[in-house]
């Protein structure tokens, strides 16, 4: 008989139909390749330091979320290219949730004190989050193009090739502008045929176009909604950047980063970068 607490059974019996024999069937662990995934955490500290596993899991899970983020960004870009706006907006909605998860998980790493981090930092050697290829792919897809970043991956020909390709392709925003042009909006021609390896810079005529959209949202609802989705994505990205800066500052102060950057000061400069400048500039016009 099941053990009871206050007269209520404290055991849940397995239902008769629940699969228990996986000798010839696929299990949860098989499908997710958990044998591979959970063996990838290999701390290097000697003697072993308790907090190194936290550091590894934090960054490995971030890379998994970045992988999904890239999957959604590439799809959203392709859908805009095909003028299929509704599913593109669905992708952008999911992108925002992924971004929020990435930002929220900084709170776990923030439990690492300076003293605890000092115990594991020597074992990181010259490795650094600055070297995350997937993060650079996300930035390139969103429009923060920087050819110098490609050279960081000269040691990895496959990764370098992926970044080189993204560097010379239109970003998500570029595809949105091309979509607008195909819908009859007066997007300046110079924005539709340019050197995609350069970051987009603010264009006053494009601000004028968006001012028209925001002056009559109901008449331009699809465009209006997409503009706001893009602003949400940039806002979430900036929150991630700022939370990253905060965590780094509380853990290492103003030390030089393991990858050789200036650390906090380097991260702070990134806060001035913007993907969709006109979508912020147009806000000054609204209601005037």
| pLDDT tens column, 189-217 | 999 999 999 999 999 999 999 999 999 99
User: What are the distances in angstroms from CA 161 to CA 65, 133, 155, 170?
Assistant: 22, 11, 11, 16
For 95-120, the pLDDT digits (tens) are: 999 999 999 999 999 999 999 999 99
pLDDT above 70 (res 5): no
Please tell me the pTM assigned to this model: 0.91
Cβ(163)–Cβ(174) below 8 Å: no
Q: Which of 78-82, 85-89, 170-174, 282-286 has the lowest mean pLDDT?
A: 282-286
pLDDT-derived band at 264, boundaries 50, 70, 90: confident
pLDDT above 90 (res 33): yes
> How confident is the model at residue 16, as a pLDDT?
82
- Which three-class secondary structure state does DSSP give residue 8? strand
pLDDT-derived band at 254, boundaries 50, 70, 90: confident
Better-scored residue on pLDDT, 264 or 161 = 161
Q: What does the DSSP assignment read for 199-243?
A: PP---HHHHHHHHHHHHSGGGGHHHHHHHHHHHHHHHHHHHHHHH
> How confident is the model at residue 39, as a pLDDT?
97
Domain locations along the chain: 49-284
Annotated binding site for heme: 244
Annotated binding site: 55-59, 117, 121, 244, 258
pLDDT above 80 (res 43): yes
Q: Which residues contact 283 (CB under 8 A, 6 or more apart)?
A: none
Pick the CATH number of 49-284 from 3.40.50.300, 1.20.58.480, 2.30.110.10, 2.40.110.10: 1.20.58.480
pLDDT > 70 fraction of the chain, expressed in percent and rounded: 96
Better-scored residue on pLDDT, 129 or 260 = 129
Annotated binding site for substrate: 55-59, 117, 121, 258
Residues 67, 35: Cα–Cα separation, whole Å: 20
> How confident is the model at residue 224, as a pLDDT?
98
Averaged pLDDT, 4-22: 77
pLDDT-derived band at 180, boundaries 50, 70, 90: very high
On average, the pLDDT of the chain sits at 92
H or E, element range at 5: strand 4-5
Cβ(126)–Cβ(152) below 8 Å: no
pLDDT > 90 fraction of the chain, expressed in percent and rounded: 75
């Amino acid at each position: 008989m099941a053990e009871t607490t206050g007269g209520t059974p404290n055991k849940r019996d397995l239902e008769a139909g629940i699969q228990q024999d996986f000798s010839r069937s696929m299990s949860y662990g098989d499908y997710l390749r958990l044998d591979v995934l959970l063996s990838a955490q290999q701390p290097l500290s000697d003697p072993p330091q308790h907090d190194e596993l936290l550091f590894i899991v934090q960054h490995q899970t971030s890379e998994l979320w970045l992988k999904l983020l890239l999957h959604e960004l590439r799809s959203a870009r392709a859908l805009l290219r095909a003028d299929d706006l509704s599913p593109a907006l669905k992708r952008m909605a999911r992108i925002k949730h992924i971004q929020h998860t990435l930002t929220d998980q900084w709170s776990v790493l923030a439990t690492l004190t300076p003293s605890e981090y000092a115990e594991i930092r020597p074992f990181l050697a010259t490795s650094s989050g600055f070297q995350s290829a997937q993060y650079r792919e996300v930035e390139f897809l969103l429009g923060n193009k920087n050819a110098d970043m490609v050279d960081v991956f000269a040691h990895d020909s496959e990764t370098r090739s992926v970044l080189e390709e993204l560097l010379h392709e239109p970003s998500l925003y570029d595809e949105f502008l091309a979509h607008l042009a195909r819908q009859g909006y007066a997007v300046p021609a110079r924005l539709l045929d340019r050197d995609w390896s350069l970051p987009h810079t603010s264009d006053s005529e494009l601000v004028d176009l968006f001012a028209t959209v925001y002056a009559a949202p109901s008449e331009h609802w699809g465009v209006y909604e997409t503009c706001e989705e893009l602003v949400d994505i940039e806002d979430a990205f900036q929150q991630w950047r700022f939370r990253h800066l905060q965590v780094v500052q509380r853990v290492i102060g103003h030390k030089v980063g393991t990858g050789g950057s200036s650390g906090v000061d380097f991260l702070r400069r990134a806060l001035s970068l913007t993907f969709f400048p006109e979508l912020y500039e147009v806000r000054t016009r609204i209601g005037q």
